[in-house]
Structure 1
Amino acid sequence: MKKKAIAASLVAGCAAPLVLAAGAGVVGVGMFAGSAGSNEAICAGSSLSVIIDGELPAPVSGYTPRAMEQAAIIMTVGEAEGISARGQLIALMTAMQESRLGDHPSTFTPDGNGDAGVFQQRQLAGWYGSLEEVSDTAYAANVFYKGKTLTEAIPGGAGPKGYHIPGLVNVEGWESLAPTVAAQRVQRSAHPQAYAKHEPAAREIMSALSGVDVSIDQNEAGSAVCGDGSSTATGDIAAVIERAHTTLGQRYVFGGGGWDGPTRGGQDCSGLTTYAYAAAGITLPRTARAQWAALRSHAVSPSEAQPGDLIFEAWGRLGAEVSHVGIYLGDGKMIEASRGAAVTKISDARLSGGQFVGIARVPEGFTQ
């Protein structure tokens, strides 16, 4: 089973982040991470946005398409962190043993030891992170590769304040160890040799996912904290923001939504903004690129940003057109229909970085 490449969405759709070209013949591909579904997960902005520029391969060795996506995210995070193909192989073998790459039905429910996520990391206080964090495949992969430093001492935790729970890169000589031994040095499993049986399938998955370019959102997974979405907006802008909030959790559908609301069961980034601004009697152009073209003369600096301003971004290859838009809420937050999270959610406002194009204020009575 193959899915159509979506490179064209970088032009008019609602894409996100930094492109990682295939390196050493191995690179990950995927659509979204973790178990976003609760309001907490949506607000946390913890899902990693991953945009495909190529064909998704057929599932390998009985793993589901979702598991292939988890594998892609694990590999892509490894690539972003400078982890070699061997390290990515070890990570895949580990996640295959611990959770069948997320296919095991109990993956995102803590077991008797308090372990959860694709790597079955302990989500108790003083360990790897919250349940939401370890259930986020991007976060979990980063911790597997690089470990976790404790910021406070908690009774029953892994160690004192400042203690570093080792990740793969902290294992001395890990690159020369057998993959199953390196995995065990990180996981400390009761079944130290169990990882070895997954090596052939892990190599097959890596081969299947090779040769595909991906773009990923480098915002730190699980770092955003969702407030109540309040702002000092009044009048028409308050109506705009209120309407945008009514779509929180709405499924992401590329090309979906418009002035009358979600269509085809969802909305994309510009579908959200056109629907929200229709509450103020304003008809915005339908695509992110067209909105920026119409409003760039009303651009404001990040320091001047106010609730209701539109944040425009260009994710993808160098020189790509505007491909994403969100609505600034104030207090460092924005609401956006995120392809990576597959829903409309509240995120930290991205007011700088290579993807940042500009902020535009929609003037009163604006018409196309």
Structure 2
Amino acid sequence: MADYPFTGGSPMDPPPRLAELRASEPVSRVMLASGPAWLLTRHADIREAIAEPALAGFVPGIVEGSDDEREQAAQAGFLMMMDGPAHQRLRRPLAGAMSARRIADLRPRIESRARELVDGLAVAGGGEVVRALAAPLAIDAIGALIGVDVTARPDFAQWSDDSAAMFGGSDPQAMAESGATLFAFIGELVVGERDSDGLVGDLFRLVPDDGLALTDAEVTGLVGQLLMAGYLPTAMVTGLGVHRVLRDPELVASLRADPDSLPGLVDELLRLDPGAAGTVDRLVRARGEVELGGHTFADGDVLVLPLGAANRDPDVFADPDRIDPSRRPNPHVSFFPGPHHCVGAALARTVLGAMLGALVEHPAVALGGEPTWITGLLGETQMAALPIHVGAPAAAR
């Protein structure tokens, strides 16, 4: 039984062993640090598993998916640990808050902010993408969505560091402590905005279908998930997308010549980098016997779903390692299709598109060196920094 995650390959691509198993043994046994598991590598199987309600997500050593944890998650409005009617009751308002239409209304602001950030970096001749471009644009966008300028809060810098530690660290205890600090920050934000005309006030005034108003804990949980879904994952995919585009001069030239290709390019970048470079895994545990992909999994079995393997399945994506902005359809699984479909999908697309559009408007923009990489708790590769050169600010637009 092979140890997982696998090694080998570049940080921007899934380990070659995943493709080998997809062809020879698409459902195989592997050994995680936490114990044995089943590894799925075909697009069809992974897509089906993501949507299967009898497979519950968990994070070893942090969120184990026990009945007690699920009950606590329901009381706190933490959607990823919920299913059924309780999940739908809380998901609807959060999905509405981050709907494609609502994000589209914010697009001009997001695009303007992206230009400001890039122009500001150009004054110095360049800088670093993750901290200077991707993260500020993502948090400004989510703050605009909520109606709160979170960057103006004196403890925002700590919040930003805690959110990164919670989702990008390798120490479960430190991640849990950062998570507690993060939600204390969010709780204070929610209390201060309870009677506002913004999103937080709207959530408190909302009466779901069951006639029961949302509790303080539920609103705090929803706002926390909105911030987390809109900030760190969006910043990650933006930094990775910038790297993929700028390392390919032909792709930059093509985008400049045909700006209408941007939406297709964004979807391709999200396919290749589903939240972290090359691949990211979702771990699930069977609740009862589950049949999937011609295999029967027993109650308690752990399954590993590598999104990068699904997104590069040649039976679904022709020439899967190539960036093809004209790829149609593009049924990637980066946003977890199914009941837990990522509510931050529209925001991630908009922020990434705005940043790429702002960068290629400059006549001289190029990578300034190689990225700095870190490894997360589940072995996923994350970009920590990316140097960039930016020429003189573009003419007034």
Tell me if TM exceeds 0.5: no
> Normalized per residue, which structure has more helix?
2
Q: TM-score, normalised by structure 1?
A: 0.30
Using CA pairs below 8 Å that are at least 6 residues apart, which structure has the higher relative contact order? 2
